[in-house]
Amino acid sequence: MKWQVALAAAEAEYAERHAGSREAMRTMAAWMPGGDTRSTTWFRPFPLVMDYADGFEMTDVDGNVLLDFLGNYTALVHGHRPPFIFAAIAAALERDFLFGAPMVEQGELARRIVERLPSAGRVRFTNSGTEAGMVAARIARRFTGRERLALAEHSYHGSYEPLVWEATDRTGTATFPVNDIAAAEWALNASGPLAAVFLEPVLGSGGVITVEDDFLAFLRDYTRRTGALLVLDEVMTFRLGYGGRQEATGVTPDLTTLGKIVGGGMPVGAVAGREDVLAVTDPSRPGSMEHSGTFNGHRLTMVAGAAGLDALDRSAVERLNRLGDRLRDGLAAAATASAAPVSVTSCGSLLNLHAAADVTTPAQANAAAQSDLARYLHLALINRGVFVAHRGEMCVSTAMNEETVDRAVEAVADALGEAARLEGLA
Best CA proximity match to 395, nearest among 404, 12, 296, 22: 404
Q: Hey, is 9 helix, strand or coil?
A: helix
- What's the CA gap between 348 and 320, in Å, rounded? 7
Which domain does 11 fall in, by range?
Answer: 4-77+313-422
Q: Is residue 283 located within the same domain as residue 352?
A: no
Task: Look at the chain and report how many structural domains it folds into.
Answer: 2
**Per-residue pLDDT tens listing for the chain (426 residues):** 589 999 999 999 999 999 999 999 999 999 999 999 999 999 999 999 999 999 999 999 999 999 999 999 999 999 999 999 999 999 999 999 999 999 999 999 999 999 999 899 999 999 999 999 999 999 999 999 999 999 999 999 999 999 999 865 666 799 999 999 999 999 999 999 999 999 999 999 999 999 999 999 999 999 999 999 999 999 999 999 999 999 999 999 999 999 999 999 999 999 999 999 999 999 999 999 999 999 999 999 999 999 999 999 999 999 999 999 999 999 999 999 999 999 999 999 999 999 999 999 999 999 999 999 999 999 999 999 999 999 999 999 999 999 999 999 999 999 999 999 999 987
Q: What is the pLDDT of residue 359?
A: 98
Domain final residue, candidates 311, 345, 369 = 311
- For 315, other C-beta atoms within 10 Å of its C-beta total 9
Q: Is residue 244 located within the same domain as residue 98?
A: yes
Helices within 94-250 (DSSP H only): 104-116, 129-144, 181-191, 213-226, 244-249
Domain final residue, candidates 256, 286, 311 = 311
- What size, in residues, is the chain? 426
Q: Is residue 87 located within the same domain as residue 31?
A: no
Q: Is residue 305 located within the same domain as residue 318?
A: no
Q: Is residue 146 located within the same domain as residue 277?
A: yes
Q: What is the pLDDT of residue 167?
A: 63
367, 356 contact by CB (below 8 A): yes
0.85 surpassed by pTM: yes
Domain final residue, candidates 311, 342, 371 = 311
Q: What is the pLDDT of residue 171?
A: 65
Q: Is residue 140 located within the same domain as residue 277?
A: yes
Q: Is residue 291 located within the same domain as residue 182?
A: yes
Q: Is residue 278 located within the same domain as residue 392?
A: no
The set of residues, in sequence order, having a beta carbon less than 8 Å from that of 322 and lying 6+ positions away, is none
Question: Catalytic site residues?
Answer: 156, 233, 260
Q: Is residue 324 located within the same domain as residue 304?
A: no
Q: Is residue 146 located within the same domain as residue 233?
A: yes
Q: Residue 368's domain is classified under what CATH number?
A: 3.90.1150.10
Q: Is residue 333 located within the same domain as residue 414?
A: yes
Q: Is residue 320 located within the same domain as residue 302?
A: no
Q: What is the pLDDT of residue 172?
A: 74
Q: Residue 197's domain is classified under what CATH number?
A: 3.40.640.10
Q: What is the pLDDT of residue 2?
A: 86
Identify the H or E element spanning 366.
helix 362-368
